[in-house]
């Protein structure tokens, strides 16, 4: 029997991300992602391209004829809804759905992501999912000087840190 958790009216979730990576498909081209645009553009009217850049540096810096190679390519598309509270990313290597603001509950996120995933599958025809990721990004305000144990059941313990910027970096606050 599934555990039923209470709905938190003021949950600290600032973003939920459902990410599905697929096994590379030989011959898959960006043009195969374009029909996805026609199906989602009314719900997600803000479209941008996603690009990837890479630089290859030779390990042997003694070689006189060493060449630095760079590569730029479009890897996908990202669509935002009107108020930018949701985004869907379609790439040659997978699919991502972001609930950026106003997260309500898993069932709604799953339903909308599944609907969009089916559109992706219809265009790309993946054979294997190689990674499925679900991330929740929380924003918690802990007043300076307060003990973390007042806010968390699992304590964050930091060693002696002299510089407050380092401490801020280490605890991500």
Residue 74 CB contacts under 8 Å (≥ 6 apart), including other chains:
30, 49, 50, 51, 52
Number of domains in the chain: 2
The maximal CA–CA distance of the chain, rounded, in angstroms, is 67
Considering the domain architecture, whether residues 109 and 168 belong to the same structural domain is answered as no
Q: With contact defined as beta carbons under 8 Å apart, do 49 and 74 qualify?
A: yes
DSSP-assigned letter for residue 31:
G
Considering the domain architecture, whether residues 114 and 157 belong to the same structural domain is answered as no
pLDDT at 145: 82
Please state, in angstroms and rounded to a whole number, the distance separating the CA atoms of residues 126 and 22: 6
* Structure tokens belonging to residue 40: 């989602």
- Residue 44 falls within a domain, yes or no? yes
Q: With contact defined as beta carbons under 8 Å apart, do 44 and 21 qualify?
A: no
pLDDT at 47: 96
- Residue 6 falls within a domain, yes or no? no
What is the chain's pLDDT, residue by residue, as a tens digit (173 residues)?
778 888 877 778 889 999 999 998 888 888 888 899 999 999 999 999 999 888 887 776 666 666 788 888 889 999 999 999 999 999 999 999 999 988 888 899 999 999 999 999 999 999 999 999 999 998 888 888 887 777 777 766 666 655 555 545 445 54
Q: Which of 172, 138, 140, 143 lies closest to 158, judged by CA?
A: 172
- Residue 123 falls within a domain, yes or no? yes
- Residue 125 falls within a domain, yes or no? yes
Considering the domain architecture, whether residues 38 and 81 belong to the same structural domain is answered as yes
Considering the domain architecture, whether residues 121 and 160 belong to the same structural domain is answered as no
Considering the domain architecture, whether residues 104 and 149 belong to the same structural domain is answered as no
* Structure tokens belonging to residue 165: 């910027």
Considering the domain architecture, whether residues 72 and 157 belong to the same structural domain is answered as no
Residue 132: phi, psi to the nearest 5? -125, 125
Reported as a single tens digit per residue, the pLDDT across 100-127 is 988 888 899 999 999 999 999 999 999 9
pLDDT at 159: 63
pLDDT at 61: 62
CA angle, 56 as apex, 50 and 62 as ends, to 5°? Answer: 165
Please state, in angstroms and rounded to a whole number, the distance separating the CA atoms of residues 159 and 170: 10
Domain coverage including residue 78 = 13-139
């Amino acid at each position: 029997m599934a555990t039923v958790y209470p709905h938190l009216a003021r949950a600290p979730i600032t973003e939920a991300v459902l990410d599905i990576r697929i096994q590379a498909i030989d011959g898959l081209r960006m043009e195969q992602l374009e029909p996805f645009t026609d199906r989602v553009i009314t719900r997600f009217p803000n479209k941008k391209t996603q690009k990837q850049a890479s630089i290859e540096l030779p390990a042997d810096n003694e070689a006189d004829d060493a060449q630095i190679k760079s590569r730029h390519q479009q890897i996908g598309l990202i669509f935002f809804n009107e108020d930018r509270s949701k985004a869907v990313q379609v790439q040659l290597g997978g699919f991502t759905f972001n609930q950026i603001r106003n997260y309500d509950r898993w069932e709604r996120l799953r339903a909308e992501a599944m609907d969009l995933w089916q559109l992706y599958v219809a265009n790309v025809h993946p054979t294997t999912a190689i990674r499925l990721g679900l991330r929740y990004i929380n924003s918690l305000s802990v007043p300076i000087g307060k003990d973390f144990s007042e806010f968390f059941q699992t304590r964050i313990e930091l060693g002696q840190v002299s510089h407050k910027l380092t401490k801020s970096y280490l605890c991500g606050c």
